[in-house]
A and B are shown apart, each in its own frame.
Chain A
Amino acid sequence: MIEEQTLIDDLKQTETQARAFEKLVNTYKERLYWHIRRIVLNHDDADDVLQNTFIKVYRNIDNFKGDSKLYSWMYRIATNESLSFLKSKSKKMGIDSVELQETLLNNLESDVYFEGDKIQLKLQKAIATLPEKQKLVFNMKYFDEMKYDEISEVLETSVGGLKASYHLATKKIEAYLKEN
């Protein structure tokens, strides 16, 4: 916690900013990348969103009040950036969000940066059928193995609501995998 506060203080001071930013990127890049990648699915898009997330963090660090953990704040920015990215992508392509998910999944099969087997692809297809919130909760809990408290801080939802979302998500995924 003290280390996090030092990092924040260093990010806010011009003379220590560059070094602190490097530390920030190196500390959180992988966790944030995988979180974003699970939402946007494609590597190039994930890279774009991740870079924009860090740029936003860098430029808005003065607005960080410390009400939540730095990590949760960055996760929240990454989530919002990813969702906005998908929205603008579907707008550009002139399709709705469901059609966009289908396109992303179809592209995943031929993606050089996807080496999943049939069941992994099927799982991604099952996740794609979930509503946005359940999708986020499932990914954060199942793949990221985040605690409900941490997810609650990022998504600003009660722990009870998250548990219900996760339960519903797993039931839907199980049903999808049995049917398909």
Chain B
Amino acid sequence: MKATNKNSGFKLPENYLENFNNSLLDKIASQEEMEKDKLPTKEGFNVPNDYFNNLHKNIVEKLNETPIKVISIKSYKKYYYFAIATAAILLLLIGINLNKTETYNMSDLANADIDAYLEYADLDLSAYEIAEVMPIDNLDIIDVLEVGIKEENILDYLDSNMDDFNELNIENNEY
């Protein structure tokens, strides 16, 4: 084999062949470095010799050694006693409260609660129906009005707005 090619007309860079070996080795080294930087596909974990061969035998041994876990009721005995005692006390307290019948009357209810009930509950009562059950005898004007009205103002009002005094039910009313 000829070491040179006289007829091709191709030319080589200076010292190309002399430096070829070094540049090739550099390239190989850099490729190896790149390979190293790649993520490994194996974790590097290892197992003892014959580990997988003996595994079934080991599992069967362990299976026989560890019978199905039965939770002993004895070890929880004190907790059961505690739970039973607590339940008994609670039942006793609830029982006492159930037997105690408390009686309530209107004075136990806050006025605001009654107002709210009348306002929001759908009572479907007309003013006349309410008037029928309202104890007019005991009703005072200040029960329905927050600010009292002077008698002279009432008379003035009646004087200017009332054409027929017969419309007024004055039988049981002082006005």
Residue ranges of A at the interface with B (Cβ–Cβ < 8 Å): 21-22, 25-26, 29-30, 33-34, 37-38, 41, 43, 47, 50-51, 54-55, 58-59, 112-117, 119-121, 123-124, 142-143, 173, 177
Which 6 pairs, one residue from A and one from B, show the smallest C-beta to C-beta distance?
A116-B44, A120-B44, A25-B56, A113-B46, A120-B40, A54-B59
In the bound complex, residues from chain A placing their C-beta under 8 Å from that of B55 are 25, 29, 50-51
Residues 48-80 (chain B) with a chain A CB within 8 angstroms: 48, 51-52, 55-56, 58-60, 62-63, 66, 68
Say yes or no: A114 contacts B56, CB within 8 Å.
Answer: no
In the bound complex, residues from chain A placing their C-beta under 8 Å from that of B43 are 37-38, 116, 120, 123-124, 143
Say yes or no: B68 contacts A59, CB within 8 Å.
Answer: yes
In the bound complex, residues from chain A placing their C-beta under 8 Å from that of B42 are 116, 120, 143
A and B contact pairs by CB, cutoff 8 A, 13 listed:
A21-B60, A22-B56, A25-B59, A29-B56, A30-B52, A37-B45, A38-B43, A43-B45, A113-B46, A113-B48, A115-B46, A116-B40, A120-B43
Q: Any chain A CB within 8 A of the CB of B36? A: yes
Tell me the bound Cα distance from A34 to B55 in angstroms.
Answer: 14
Interface string of B24-52 (1 = CB under 8 A from A): 00000000000011011111111110011
Tell me the bound Cα distance from A26 to B58 in angstroms.
Answer: 12
Q: How far is the CB of B32 from chain A (nearest CB, A)?
A: 13
Say yes or no: B62 contacts A114, CB within 8 Å.
Answer: no
Tell me the bound Cα distance from A47 to B62 in angstroms.
Answer: 12
In the bound complex, residues from chain A placing their C-beta under 8 Å from that of B52 are 29-30, 33
Which of B40, B47, B62 is close to A55, meaning CB atoms less than 8 Å apart? B62
In the bound complex, residues from chain B placing their C-beta under 8 Å from that of A33 are 47, 52
Say yes or no: B68 contacts A116, CB within 8 Å.
Answer: no
Tell me the bound Cα distance from A149 to B12 in angstroms.
Answer: 57
In the bound complex, residues from chain B placing their C-beta under 8 Å from that of A43 are 45-48
Say yes or no: A121 contacts B62, CB within 8 Å.
Answer: no
Q: How far is the CB of B73 from chain A (nearest CB, A)?
A: 21
Say yes or no: B45 contacts A55, CB within 8 Å.
Answer: no
Tell me the bound Cα distance from A69 to B170 in angstroms.
Answer: 93
Say yes or no: B56 contacts A119, CB within 8 Å.
Answer: no
Q: How far is the CB of A173 from chain B (nearest CB, A)?
A: 8
Tell me the bound Cα distance from A114 to B11 in angstroms.
Answer: 54
Say yes or no: A114 contacts B48, CB within 8 Å.
Answer: no
Tell me the bound Cα distance from A173 to B39 in angstroms.
Answer: 10
Say yes or no: A123 contacts B39, CB within 8 Å.
Answer: yes
Q: A25-B56, A55-B63, A120-B42 are in contact. Are A113 and B47 (CB under 8 A)?
A: yes
In the bound complex, residues from chain A placing their C-beta under 8 Å from that of B48 are 43, 113
Tell me the bound Cα distance from A177 to B47 in angstroms.
Answer: 27
Q: How far is the CB of A156 from chain B (nearest CB, A)?
A: 25
In the bound complex, residues from chain A placing their C-beta under 8 Å from that of B36 are 119
Tell me the bound Cα distance from A41 to B66 in angstroms.
Answer: 25
Say yes or no: B40 contacts A51, CB within 8 Å.
Answer: no
